[in-house]
């Protein structure tokens, strides 16, 4: 499969899942725009490395995904710098945990804007570009929490469920065009952020690394294995392939059986 000539925008992609997806798309020949809210030399160096390693164009575009106008400007800037926006991967997100009656209303609003709002705004800005090109792929990185729930994560669960509903609407609105819209729903993924939590969790529970992973972090993941950023990148690239032309409006779980329970 080749994505040569295609341009991908991946939000929230200067580390972790987003960066892994950007790398996977670049490996298939797509030019990529990576993004976060920071504007550091190391962010731009990431884009330069991707370009050098994969022989594609790559740019870093800072944008605050909690701001609708900034989300739309990200898409416009990517088109200006790279010539198109053929693939959109809304991935940006944050987490906050608290009981509903104690949940900070400002944090509720922030989660909704970064997760659900940015999905809407970037998609709305990208669709006219995809329609003009006659081809497009939108792959929303949702979560197992878009299909099930956990206590104390009301804002995150609501936003992720909202993303999956949005994907279904978008798929119906583009069903007779060469544009698809799907969601990928990861369970727990071994990212640098999760890796950094393991030593403290070992101390907290007085457990070894393997036991902490199996019994604490992956308590709800039946496979007792983390998903990897490489696996998620593979699913996203598959959804951009000709084999996936009739896959639209779906939520694909990459969660080791979590949502089968």
CA distance 202 to 197: 9
- What is the spatial distance between Cα 85 and Cα 10, in angstroms, rounded to a whole number? 10
Q: Report the C-alpha gap between 42 and 23 in whole angstroms.
A: 16
Residue 255 to residue 242: CA distance in whole angstroms: 25
Catalytic, 60? Answer: no
Catalytic-role residue among 60, 156, 188, 205:
156
Cα→Cα distances 31→27, 48, 137, Å:
9, 12, 14
The CA distance from 79 to 129, in Å, is 8
For 219, phi then psi, to 5°, come to -55, -40
Rounded distance, CA 228 to CA 186, Å? 9
Burial of 191 (0-12, 13-18, 19+ CB in 10 A): buried
C-beta of residue 65 within 8 angstroms of C-beta of residue 120: no
d(CA 33, CA 50): 10
Q: Which residues are catalytic?
A: 156
């Amino acid at each position: 499969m080749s994505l040569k000539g295609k341009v991908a925008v991946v939000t929230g992609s200067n580390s972790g899942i987003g960066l892994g997806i950007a790398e996977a798309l670049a490996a298939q020949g797509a030019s990529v725009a990576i993004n976060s809210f920071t504007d550091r030399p190391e962010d731009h160096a990431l884009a330069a490395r991707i370009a050098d390693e994969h022989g594609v164009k790559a740019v870093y575009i800072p944008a605050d995904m909690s701001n609708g106008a900034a989300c739309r400007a990200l898409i416009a800037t990517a088109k200006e710098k790279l010539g198109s926006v053929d693939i959109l991967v809304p991935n940006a997100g944050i987490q906050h945990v608290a009981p509903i009656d104690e949940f900070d209303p400002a944090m509720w609003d922030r989660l909704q804007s970064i997760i659900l709002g940015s999905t809407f705004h970037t998609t709305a800005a990208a669709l006219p570009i995809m329609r003009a090109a006659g081809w497009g792929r939108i792959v929303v990185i949702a979560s197992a929490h878009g299909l099930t729930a956990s206590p104390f994560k009301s804002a995150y669960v609501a936003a992720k469920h909202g993303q999956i509903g949005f994907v279904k609407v978008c798929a119906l609105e583009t069903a007779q065009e060469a544009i698809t819209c799907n969601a990928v729903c990861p369970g727990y993924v071994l990212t640098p952020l999760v890796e950094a939590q393991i030593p403290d969790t070992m101390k907290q529970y007085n457990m070894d690394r393997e036991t902490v992973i199996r019994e604490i972090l992956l308590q709800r993941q039946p496979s007792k294995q983390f998903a990897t950023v490489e696996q998620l990148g593979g699913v996203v690239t598959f959804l951009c392939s000709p084999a996936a032309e009739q896959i639209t409006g779906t939520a694909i779980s990459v969660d080791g059986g979590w949502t089968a329970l």
